[in-house]
């Protein structure tokens, strides 16, 4: 007899993530935190109401693909051009300092000090989780204080966008190396071919969508074709090139981000579709896998140090980038603190690492704790830094 349990599980996920999301939003935290808490509380760590099924796994994967496409299509290329050089320097250091610091912490704790290729790859994957930035909290804080349109605020936002792009490229490289192919040359060839494929497909698809959008930018068929393109790019990235499917989805969004007329319409439709079903399932599934009952003293110590490393790596990395670009010490500090928050992308990379066998599921609670703490600390530290320093330019 066919089971309809999946309907009950889906209803519980949608209700609980929305309720907890509203609660966290009222204390000025992103709804992502609420969705994670819903998964933790309703999953094995809490009441045990939710359990992972094949349906939920597939729905969560679609959710993460749609999230990455939305991140890509929301990229503002004009903003990147305005502060390109400064933002690029800040972003590069903002990616590689967390990569080294957080990855090094994992290597020290769980790799026994053995610098084998496998251990280094696992450590790099762990570091890449904390490379990407989520600036939604920073934007809200800067806007509240009237500092969003300053030079510092614009530089910070551009650096966060470039930060995500570099982080996705790093993830692509690591995913290719973790696919089981031991030949570095072949892996690099696959990666080069993937980006060549993105370039060629991008030139063609952008022209096609620009032509269609002239008269039909407000038509639902454009959103449907965009979704089909997103899924095809995700499939091709994973199956043809050994690159993460979320990388293909992200670049699909980047390709369409300059189709001016259709961009906002497609982004709006994707947001509604993903946040109605698929995105809550993804965040709840991460929470469900975060089994706090399996935490021991070693993982707890690692979690606390990981929180410290996650915060310091962005403040130091992005702050040094700001100083290198001749920002003042105060501006550099504000930029560094503004880049501390992690959210969706960190969780997506962690999920990818677990699927690839590069990240042990037992340390997922430490990752989730670091993500939540970074979201909590960013607005507090940012307000302190801005209020106690000179006026931002």
pTM score: 0.81
What are the residues whose beta carbons fall under 8 Å from the beta carbon of 331, sequence distance 6 or more? Answer: 151, 152, 322, 392, 393
Residue pair 346/133 in contact (Cβ under 8 Å)? The answer is no
Q: Taking Cα atoms as reference points, which of 216, 211, 290, 295 lies closest to residue 35?
A: 290
pLDDT of residue 314: 94
| Per-residue CA distances from 383 to 87, 149, 315, 380 (Å) | 22, 16, 15, 5
| CA separation for the pair 133, 146 (Å, rounded) | 21
Task: Tell me the two tokens of residue 364.
Answer: 């997922």
Radius of gyration in angstroms for the set of CA atoms belonging to the chain, rounded to a whole number: 20
What are 176-194's pLDDT values in tens digits?
A: 887 765 567 787 888 889 9
In the chain (393 residues long), the average pLDDT of successive 10-residue segments reads 80 94 82 86 88 88 88 76 79 93 92 83 92 76 72 81 84 79 74 92 89 72 90 93 87 83 82 87 88 82 94 94 90 91 83 86 89 84 82 62
Cα 110 from Cα 104, distance rounded (Å): 10
Q: Please give the span between the terminal C-alpha atoms of the chain, in angstroms, as a whole number.
A: 67
| Unique residue bearing structure tokens 């470039």 | 162
- Are 281 and 63 within 8 A, CB to CB? yes
pLDDT tens digits along 212-271: 776 666 777 888 899 999 999 999 998 998 888 888 998 999 888 876 667 788 888 888
Instruction: Check: CB of residue 248 under 8 Å from CB of residue 238.
Output: yes
Task: Classify 83 as helix, strand or coil.
Answer: coil
**Left if phi > 0, otherwise alpha if psi is -120 to 50, otherwise beta: which for 57?**
alpha
Q: How many CA atoms lie within 13 A of 386 on its CB side?
A: 23
Confidence at residue 230, expressed as pLDDT on a 0 to 100 scale: 94
302 Cβ contact list (under 8 Å, min separation 6): 105, 106, 109, 110, 363, 366
Candidates 303, 370, 364, 363; CA nearest to 340 is: 370
Helix (H, G, I), strand (E, B) or coil at 92: helix
Q: Which of 48, 55, 42 is nearest to 16 (CA)?
A: 42
d(Cα 182, Cα 102) in Å, to the nearest integer? 25
């Amino acid at each position: 007899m066919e089971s309809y349990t999946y309907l009950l599980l889906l209803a519980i996920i949608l209700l609980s993530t929305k309720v907890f999301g509203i609660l966290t939003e009222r204390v000025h935290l992103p709804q992502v935190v609420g969705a994670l808490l819903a998964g933790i509380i309703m999953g094995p760590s809490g009441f045990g109401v939710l359990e992972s099924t094949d349906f939920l796994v597939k729905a969560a994967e679609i959710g993460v693909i749609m999230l990455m496409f939305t991140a890509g299509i929301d990229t503002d290329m004009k903003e990147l051009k305005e502060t390109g050089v400064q933002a690029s320097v800040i972003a590069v250091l903002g990616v590689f300092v967390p990569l080294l610091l957080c990855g090094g912490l994992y290597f020290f704790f769980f790799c026994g000090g053995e610098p084998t290729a496998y251990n280094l790859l696992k450590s790099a994957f762990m570091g890449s989780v904390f490379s990407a930035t989520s600036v939604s909290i920073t934007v809200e804080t800067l806007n509240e204080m009237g500092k969003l349109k300053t030079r510092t605020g614009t530089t910070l936002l551009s650096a966060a966008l470039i930060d995500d792009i570099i982080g996705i490229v790093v993830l692509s490289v690591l995913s290719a190396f973790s696919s089981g192919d031991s030949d570095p040359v072949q892996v690099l060839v696959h990666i080069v071919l993937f980006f060549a494929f993105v370039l060629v497909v991008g030139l063609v698809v952008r022209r096609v969508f620009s032509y269609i959008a002239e008269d039909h930018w407000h038509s639902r068929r454009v959103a449907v074709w965009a979704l089909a393109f997103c899924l095809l790019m995700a499939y091709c990235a994973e199956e043809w090139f050994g690159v993460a499917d979320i990388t293909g989805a992200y670049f699909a969004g980047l390709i369409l981000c300059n189709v001016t007329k259709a961009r906002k319409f497609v982004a709006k439709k994707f947001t509604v579709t993903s946040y109605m079903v698929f995105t809550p399932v993804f965040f709840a599934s991460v929470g469900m896998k975060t089994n706090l009952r399996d935490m021991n003293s070693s993982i707890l110590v690692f979690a606390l140090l990981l929180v410290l490393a996650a915060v310091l790596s962005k403040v130091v990395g992005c702050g040094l980038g700001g100083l290198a670009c001749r920002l003042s010490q105060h501006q550099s500090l504000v930029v560094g603190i503004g880049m501390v928050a992690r959210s969706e992308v960190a969780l997506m990379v962690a999920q990818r690492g677990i699927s690839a066998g590069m990240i042990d599921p037992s340390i997922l609670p430490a990752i989730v704790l670091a993500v939540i703490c970074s979201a909590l600390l960013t607005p507090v530290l940012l307000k302190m830094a801005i209020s106690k320093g000179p006026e931002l330019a």
